[in-house]
Structure 1
Amino acid sequence: MENSLLSQKSSDSGLHISLHPLVLLTVSDHITRHAARQQQGPVVGALLGQQNGREITLEHAFECPTTNGPNGEVLLPETWFEERVKQFKDVHKVPPLDLVGWWSTAPSTGPDASHLPLHRQLLQDYNESAVFLAFHPSQLQPETHTAKLPLTVYESVYEGENPTDAAKEMQVDGEEPQPNIRFRELPHAVETAEAEMIGIDTIAKSSGTAANDIPAQEASALKQQKPDTGPKQGAEKKSVRPELSQEEEELISSLNTRLNAIRTLESRISLIKSYVSSVSSAETPSTDTRNNKEGTQSTQLSHPILRNINSLLSHLSILSPQEQGPLSVDFLSQSNDVLLVSLLGQLGENVKAMRELGRKSAVVQSARQSSSGRKNPGLMQSRFEEELFAQGMGGPGAAAAGMYS
């Protein structure tokens, strides 16, 4: 069946898509969770990357909720989507990433009419050259392993339809036909960095191990449980897993990723420890002799492996700042700055308290002097003359002598 939204012409824009594995992992994870939890609604997400000339890189992806428009079409919530894109841009500043397209599930024949409203929204509001990554679940065949990925990347172009004779008669003179959006397939290739290769290899190994361990764990758990009788079994069978929000799902996914990373690190450390202990035990003559007599093969000493272990341990010393010169100096400088600001604040509070104490003391002293002057006016006059004499002005007699001289 021919898809009317696909252009009959091949792409002439010269664009080439570089697809990173992290996008594939995010898309597959979202689709798997959506299907396992039997959630309703479309599966939609955004794509972040860079555009260097005629090459577009798809480096990161995140899932998006959807809302219904005035005519029932599927759209993105504008406020949430703008805030989410801004957060990802703040995180991925070096190199700077931008919104380059979106992804969703689609039949093997290509995009359909349900994809057009959301694609128009992205073209009008965010990126006029946004690409569309369509994932085809119908092409997945678990029993066979094919090299082709079940996805297609499209670009959108505006093409006018060739009107029929009836449409030409209905067309107003001078009016041009309205162009429609058509999709053209773009060539793409998977580009993998060194860090991504390590991560994919680790995920592939851990997923295979988890798939083998899950049935054994479930069997052991079922053996440990005691069989229950009565209506309790029916109640347990009817128990439904509570639905989780998007934030809770992201938190659980992040925690699982960190847990797997810690388990992988622990296994690597235990492997290094076992190798070092076996090498150290093989160096003793008694152990060597016993192993040779028994016919067992002892661990061979490998200097390159020991040098790699030593290099790894030297890099781990950054975890103790007191042993590093520049790092400890910077840490001490920041600590001193914090303590200095705290001391300056305390000093300001003490100066303010002393000023308040001086003001209160002056008020009390003036009140005492005024009360004592009312009781003994002569004493008040003598104190006034003493103050004038102390200031070099003399008493009343000195003032009169200066007047008549």
Structure 2
Amino acid sequence: MSSSMDLTADTDTPGTSQPVVSTAQNISGLSVSLHPLVLLNISDHFTRVRLQTQNPNPQVIGALLGIQTGRDVEIFNSFELLFHLDTGAVVIDMEYFKDKQDQFKLVFPQYDFLGWYSMGAQPTLAEIDIHKQFLENNESPLFLQLDPASLHKDDRSKSLPVSLYESTIEVIGGQPQTLFIRSQYKIETGEAERIAVDHVSKPSVSTTTGGGAESSTLIAHLNTQRNAINMLHTRVAVLHQYLLDVNAGVVPKDHDVLRQIASLCNRLPAIDSAEFREEFFTEYNDVLLTSYLATITKGVNGMNELVDKFNVATNGTGRRTRGMGLLI
């Protein structure tokens, strides 16, 4: 995975600079709504790659998915993309991209490919070359750019370090050039997203053995469970090793300890009683029933949509037929 410095064109060098962002006013009338899940996915992607590669500024690329209705665009989700460098240029793995898109289509059939995302302070020629690779899948894809470095600057503005661009064609020096043009966006959240974002944005402070650190309540709860499981495993291992040593004659038999171990072992098959099986299967059937009910509800909803579309088509055909009959 290459860093963003490897992929950035020098746009300030005299004689080699080429504009990539149009200064014209955006008159496309596109209304873009961005959901928090997309920003969380991009942030997680960048943070994970940075920790795995030990690179403070890695380059990550991903696809944006959502729904477009006329000039209204709503970006709901995203996924990561694979790429490699070919003589310094980024080449997207289109086979992987199409496989991931088909997988998302199975779960979210209404989601279409709307654009892609990357990291950086501003678009460069490298982003233009990457953008052209997606034109086969969308004639006018969006480009979302996240600037993690801006979070460390002394900037009191509370705006998100996110820029959204559309692509446009302008004639420069008698040649048509693909340029980016800045587009406005708004953050759109659902009730479930509000709850998730609220949980992520409010970490609790807990003291650890390292001298104090910030962690969420979920992490503290999981750490407690992990420590308890490790302690249980250690104690069971001690009892197992003791029995092996007694059986091998390494240590003398202590009948009091053996009786306590036998009593502990005799308690374990208690969960295999008829009462336990009955209660377990009751809970299991309740879960299956809930799953079946959700599937049936989804099927009924799909059938209702099909019936509504059929009624609209039938009524329209009926009106046209009656009109033709009157003319005859």
Q: Give the equivalent residue in structure 2 for 1:154.
A: 165
Q: Give the equivalent residue in structure 2 for 1:218.
A: 210
1:63 aligns with 2:80: yes
1:114 aligns with 2:126: yes
Q: Give the equivalent residue in structure 2 for 1:134.
A: 145
| TM-score (norm: length of structure 2) | 0.58
Whether the 8 Å contact between 2:66 and 2:75 is mirrored in structure 1 is yes
Higher relative contact order (CA 8 A, sep 6+): 2
Q: Give the equivalent residue in structure 2 for 1:13.
A: 28
Aligned pairs (5 A) from 1:5-404: 5-36=20-51, 37-39=53-55, 42-69=59-86, 71-93=87-109, 96-107=110-121, 110-123=122-135, 125-141=136-152, 146-161=157-172, 163=173, 177-205=174-202, 208-209=203-204, 212-213=205-206, 216-219=208-211, 320=283, 327=289
Higher helix fraction (1 or 2) = 1
How has the CA–CA distance of structure 1 residues 83 and 30 changed in structure 2, closer, same or farther, with 3 Å as cutoff? same
CA-CA distance at 1:143 after TM superposition? 6.8
Name which one, 1 or 2, has greater alpha-carbon Rg: 1
How has the CA–CA distance of structure 1 residues 217 and 46 changed in structure 2, closer, same or farther, with 3 Å as cutoff? farther
CA-CA distance at 1:217 after TM superposition? 3.5
Gaps of 5+ in 1: 164-176, 221-256, 267-318, 332-405
Instruction: For 2:142, give the aligned amino acid.
Output: V
Instruction: For 1:59, give the aligned amino acid.
Output: F
How has the CA–CA distance of structure 1 residues 137 and 327 changed in structure 2, closer, same or farther, with 3 Å as cutoff? closer
Q: Considering only aligned residues, what root-mean-square deviation do their CA atoms show, in Å? A: 3.5
The worse-fitting range, judged by mean Cα deviation, of 184-193 and 30-39 is: 30-39
1-side partners of 2:199 and 2:286: how far apart? 32
1-side partners of 2:209 and 2:140: how far apart? 49
1-side partners of 2:289 and 2:127: how far apart? 53
Instruction: For 1:91, give the aligned amino acid.
Output: V
Instruction: For 1:320, give the aligned amino acid.
Output: E
Instruction: For 1:117, give the aligned amino acid.
Output: D
Instruction: For 1:201, give the aligned amino acid.
Output: D
2-side partners of 1:145 and 1:127: how far apart? 37
Gaps of 5+ in 2: 1-11, 226-281, 294-328
CA-CA distance at 1:156 after TM superposition? 0.3
How has the CA–CA distance of structure 1 residues 9 and 323 changed in structure 2, closer, same or farther, with 3 Å as cutoff? closer
Question: How much identity, in percent, do the aligned residues show?
Answer: 33
Higher strand fraction (1 or 2) = 2
| TM-score (norm: length of structure 1) | 0.47
How has the CA–CA distance of structure 1 residues 186 and 327 changed in structure 2, closer, same or farther, with 3 Å as cutoff? same
SS of equivalent residue, structure 2 residue 134: helix
CA-CA distance at 1:43 after TM superposition? 1.3
2-side partners of 1:23 and 1:100: how far apart? 12
1-side partners of 2:285 and 2:181: how far apart? 60
CA-CA distance at 1:146 after TM superposition? 3.4
